[in-house]
A and B are shown apart, each in its own frame.
Chain A
């Protein structure tokens, strides 16, 4: 095993940094807003310095018994007003930037998912990528990433203000400041590792619950409910312990930051106090009077504020990195197979050829198809049979171009099949889960044949046994197929396939759940297609299989390998 894992690491290092590059590049979607956030944040720093100076001035006048107090007072109120408005603007633009970036990422995610690039994701993971993970990227840029730049500039600004007033105080701040990032890095790497472990354990908990919820009937049938409740208690307890372990490190980090901030205030106060009591004589000496002393005291807590905000946003970075690990590969531009032919697509039944196709799902170690080859002449009808799980649907998807083989080629006539998302729709597909739009049954059919008249639609519906719906073509459907039963929905998919004029017809279990009379009707309709179109059908039904003039058995050997045997019937 060890040499194997070494190889893995050696082969993949460039991919590890790709998500980070991708993440950094996303700031381009809200450049203007982010710049506003940056400028307002710097302005806030300057205003904080001004506010401290004016407060100190006012207080000094008061202590000195001076009567000219109203000038600093008015200026102070003005600065406060500007600072409040400025911070409102900063918050508004920050949230806006997050929204804009998330939206742009979502646009790309939807486009990629609709190209079929999300095949490796479950629908649940895909929706997490679209919603939560896109959010995480936006929040990271408006939050942590901006704050990191601001913290550096603001720290510098405060240091300049402190040094120009009193170099000893400047030194106190300067000496404590670099310790903070250093300590954060030390603790941060540990925290990252612990956070990763915790994320794993959250995933485990999610998988655990999901498993139990899905298998609830089994648990009940085996009278395991009590035992499972106990097991859940153990799992959640473990999760809590892990979470606390991560947080303890995080709390320690922020405690160190706070300690520095508090100690700096204490040191500055003592230093200034001793100076004013004339008990020490280092530093600028008489130049340090009460006003400057108070100014420095007010500056000390402000100095650590940007760094503390940065530490508080650390989890944003972790979330965004986790999101980038999923989103960057999803949005990576797919490598297009070279187009071997520039001839226009001919709307004629194509021949279908698989040449030494190798295909494996990323989550499996066994390839589903290994060195598979077959040839189907134009206008033929191929029926694929085999136990479920042997790859019938996968083979259909490879022929359609929905999946791309790991090696080898799929050809329609002599053209290498392009990924389906790049083709213009030259095939008809009726899968196990048809797609519905909100509208009438007719709307759903006309998607593939906009010019078809009602008579044509009625004829197709009759062929598929959908002519007995009470509202006929006007039957309303929603996006989830509400309005039709599961079996009827599937037959709608079949009706679409028959209605379209695509020369290649790919059908997954077209006659499942049909009674014999209905199955015969559907098969008659399909029989009429053979010759004009090339038809490929995956099925369990022996009756349906009789349609074939070519047949293929997907056999599962004991070791999980698949063998292809095409027989001419």
Chain B
């Protein structure tokens, strides 16, 4: 556990280091605010008690009393406290958000090359939760946990020295012991809350995934009249969660009551301890009162401590989650050289092998050559490796063995960007981005002008529809949902054509299209791409038969057609 804490602290240090000056300033400002608040009440107490004594002694207007210094001090502390509080918040939040912004960018850059790949075991929803929710939770690591803790520690030191100075070492020692005891108590409470907190997180995670599954299967549930059974199960789950929350409520209440009343007890304790010395004249009465009020005003320093301690386990597990993302090794790159392929219209594959971890190879000793003008159809049942082969060719996935040669360069020797830019790939799954049609097209070619975009749309036989629906500024909605399935497919195709690359790889280009739509698109494509190296993965034998070359993948059982 302490080891976890140590790694978490190191991690936080590394990420907050760039802003350490501003964070230190924020801490100093917070401390100033706290001390000014304590000073305000302490000075006020000293002032009225000294005034009372002076007034009693004078038995009339006590004109001899130095009024200016304390009243100016009180006003200055009142104003200073407000100003330093405002700036403390501004500085601490701004610095924290800078850290979080960097962290988000870093995490995103870490995730991007690892999916699909080592991080594929996390759903998109989980990854999003890391980028948004987890990073947001870490804001509190400084704002809600470390800064209040450090301010409280400094204030405690200040009060112990004051106590030692005015009331003697025994009082200082007693205060030190009290603070240590309280800290230990809070730590114990936080440790005891760790297990139920984790149980709660687990329960919530489970509920989330069960809900998603249930909603997807909801038609079955409703159609067969199984709803009562499910409701019953959910009620049990919800009761369990509520039970956990009630258990946590008690522990949190104890910690909160403790930190809330700590300084009140201390204030009363100081007064009681000083009763005898004051009566004996060893300590002046105004000073004793000032010390008591000082302690009373320190309550605002201890108030956030309950939450700070309770949330620390959560922070720690958040850090562990994020670390597991950034610590995951990068997948191996397919192209690692520096050479640039010179397009020569020939793609040559020799001895290619690929296997998923712990699985028999999808293909082995695969060899073929595709020349411009003689397209290749890759056929095979689902899961036979059609998409993987295309990804290997483009270098999105590294093959286990074999060579892929294009433009006089093998994939291994080529510079990653140069290799990839020789290829255009139509992915099997639709990937459109929220935004306008123009944004989505320009992804393939950022410098394309409108004429070029329209040309690509013509080739994908989408131009007419788009012209009617408002042109290139058409907002296609989240994931292109404002387009129909067929229109989305053609837009993806237009994007690939726009790229104007010498090798074109099409993965199931006609998914979701009815036969007659698909046929006309197939003819257009063959015409448009007749001078490129074209490879098309398809499960439809009618299209495969119309291409001059065929490659069949998968040796498990009969082919799908």
B249 engages A99 (CB within 8 Å): yes
Chain B CB count within 10 A is highest, among A212, A402, A502, for A212
B515 engages A276 (CB within 8 Å): no
Query: Please, what's the 1-or-0 string for A32-71, where 1 marks a CB less than 8 Å from any CB in chain B?
Result: 0000000000000000000100010011001101010100
B55 engages A223 (CB within 8 Å): no
Taking the closest CB of chain A, its distance from the CB of B296, in whole angstroms, is: 8
A166 at the interface (CB under 8 A from B): no
A390 at the interface (CB under 8 A from B): yes
Kindly specify which of B251-259, B350-358, B530-538 makes contact with the partner chain. B251-259
- Count B interface residues, CB 8 Å: 158
A351 at the interface (CB under 8 A from B): no
A258 engages B40 (CB within 8 Å): no
B124 engages A560 (CB within 8 Å): no
A21 at the interface (CB under 8 A from B): no
Report the Cα distance A248→B97, complex, angstroms: 13
Query: Please, what's the 1-or-0 string for A374-400, where 1 marks a CB less than 8 Å from any CB in chain B?
Result: 000000000001111110000001001
Residues of chain A lying within 8 A (CB to CB) of residue B560: 515-516
Report the Cα distance A290→B210, complex, angstroms: 66
A114 engages B218 (CB within 8 Å): yes
| Shortest beta-carbon contacts, A-B, top 9 | A425-B225, A435-B217, A389-B485, A388-B512, A95-B249, A269-B44, A88-B257, A429-B223, A388-B485
Given A99-B245, A239-B101, A277-B51, 8 further pairs, Cβ under 8 A = A83-B261, A113-B214, A113-B218, A116-B218, A215-B433, A262-B37, A266-B78, A389-B512
Query: Please, what's the 1-or-0 string for B221-264, where 1 marks a CB less than 8 Å from any CB in chain A?
Result: 11111110011001100110110011011101110110011001
Residues of chain B lying within 8 A (CB to CB) of residue A517: 558
Kindly specify which of B7-15, B80-88, B178-186, B340-348 makes contact with the partner chain. B80-88
Query: Please, what's the 1-or-0 string for A316-332, where 1 marks a CB less than 8 Å from any CB in chain B?
Result: 00000000000000000
A263 engages B78 (CB within 8 Å): yes
Residues of chain B lying within 8 A (CB to CB) of residue A107: 235, 238
Residues of chain A lying within 8 A (CB to CB) of residue B43: 269
Chain B CB count within 10 A is highest, among A76, A89, A209, A298, for A209
A433 engages B78 (CB within 8 Å): no
For residue A426, which residue of chain B has the nearest CB? B225
Residues of chain B lying within 8 A (CB to CB) of residue A293: 48, 52
Pick from B55, B109, B217, B222: contact of A421, CB under 8 Å = B222
Taking the closest CB of chain A, its distance from the CB of B514, in whole angstroms, is: 5
A483 at the interface (CB under 8 A from B): no
A186 at the interface (CB under 8 A from B): no
B195 at the interface (CB under 8 A from A): no
B223 engages A114 (CB within 8 Å): no
B94 at the interface (CB under 8 A from A): yes
A560 engages B213 (CB within 8 Å): no
Residues of chain A lying within 8 A (CB to CB) of residue B250: 92
Residues of chain A lying within 8 A (CB to CB) of residue B132: 202, 205-206, 209
B256 engages A91 (CB within 8 Å): yes
A262 engages B79 (CB within 8 Å): yes
B45 engages A294 (CB within 8 Å): yes
Report the Cα distance A213→B112, complex, angstroms: 7
B242 engages A99 (CB within 8 Å): yes
Taking the closest CB of chain B, its distance from the CB of A496, in whole angstroms, is: 7
Residues of chain A lying within 8 A (CB to CB) of residue B47: 269-270, 273
Residues of chain A lying within 8 A (CB to CB) of residue B216: 123, 433, 435
A91 engages B44 (CB within 8 Å): no
A435 engages B49 (CB within 8 Å): no
B253 engages A211 (CB within 8 Å): no
Kindly specify which of B165-173, B311-319, B370-378, B475-483 makes contact with the partner chain. B475-483
Report the Cα distance A254→B70, complex, angstroms: 27
A548 at the interface (CB under 8 A from B): no
22 residue pairs of the A-B complex, CB under 8 angstroms, read A62-B289, A63-B53, A88-B257, A91-B253, A102-B242, A114-B227, A202-B132, A205-B132, A219-B443, A228-B112, A252-B86, A258-B85, A263-B78, A266-B75, A266-B77, A270-B71, A298-B293, A387-B517, A402-B219, A435-B214, A436-B213, A558-B464
Report the Cα distance A207→B433, complex, angstroms: 10
Residues of chain B lying within 8 A (CB to CB) of residue A386: 514
A110 at the interface (CB under 8 A from B): yes
- Count A interface residues, CB 8 Å: 154
B65 at the interface (CB under 8 A from A): yes
Residues of chain A lying within 8 A (CB to CB) of residue B89: 247, 251, 254
B58 at the interface (CB under 8 A from A): yes
A127 engages B45 (CB within 8 Å): no
A62 engages B288 (CB within 8 Å): yes
Report the Cα distance A267→B364, complex, angstroms: 87
B74 engages A110 (CB within 8 Å): no
Report the Cα distance A247→B93, complex, angstroms: 9
Residues of chain A lying within 8 A (CB to CB) of residue B464: 558
A480 engages B220 (CB within 8 Å): no
For residue B226, which residue of chain A has the nearest CB? A447
Taking the closest CB of chain B, its distance from the CB of A132, in whole angstroms, is: 9
Taking the closest CB of chain A, its distance from the CB of B386, in whole angstroms, is: 14
Kindly specify which of A148-156, A229-237, A409-417, A456-464 makes contact with the partner chain. A229-237
Pick from B82, B215, B248, B424: contact of A118, CB under 8 Å = B215
Taking the closest CB of chain B, its distance from the CB of A548, in whole angstroms, is: 15
Query: Please, what's the 1-or-0 string for B183-226, where 1 marks a CB less than 8 Å from any CB in chain A?
Result: 00000000000000000000010011111111111111111111
**Contact A436 to B382, CB < 8 A, known contacts A83-B261, A220-B396:** no
A420 at the interface (CB under 8 A from B): yes
Kindly specify which of B17-25, B148-156, B270-278 makes contact with the partner chain. B270-278
Pick from B86, B128, B289, B443: contact of A59, CB under 8 Å = B289
Taking the closest CB of chain B, its distance from the CB of A105, in whole angstroms, is: 10
Pick from B90, B109, B220: contact of A248, CB under 8 Å = B90
B131 at the interface (CB under 8 A from A): yes
Taking the closest CB of chain B, its distance from the CB of A449, in whole angstroms, is: 9
For residue A433, which residue of chain B has the nearest CB? B216
B124 engages A210 (CB within 8 Å): yes
Residues of chain A lying within 8 A (CB to CB) of residue B511: 388
B41 engages A223 (CB within 8 Å): no
For residue B122, which residue of chain A has the nearest CB? A213
For residue A517, which residue of chain B has the nearest CB? B558
Report the Cα distance A12→B230, complex, angstroms: 35
B158 at the interface (CB under 8 A from A): no
Pick from A69, A98, A258, A434: contact of B275, CB under 8 Å = A69
Query: Please, what's the 1-or-0 string for B284-302, where 1 marks a CB less than 8 Å from any CB in chain A?
Result: 0100110011001100000
Taking the closest CB of chain A, its distance from the CB of B507, in whole angstroms, is: 10
B90 engages A251 (CB within 8 Å): yes
A387 engages B558 (CB within 8 Å): no
For residue B481, which residue of chain A has the nearest CB? A363
A69-102 interface with B by 8 A CB criterion: 69, 73, 76-77, 80, 83-85, 87-92, 94-96, 98-100, 102
B221 engages A431 (CB within 8 Å): no
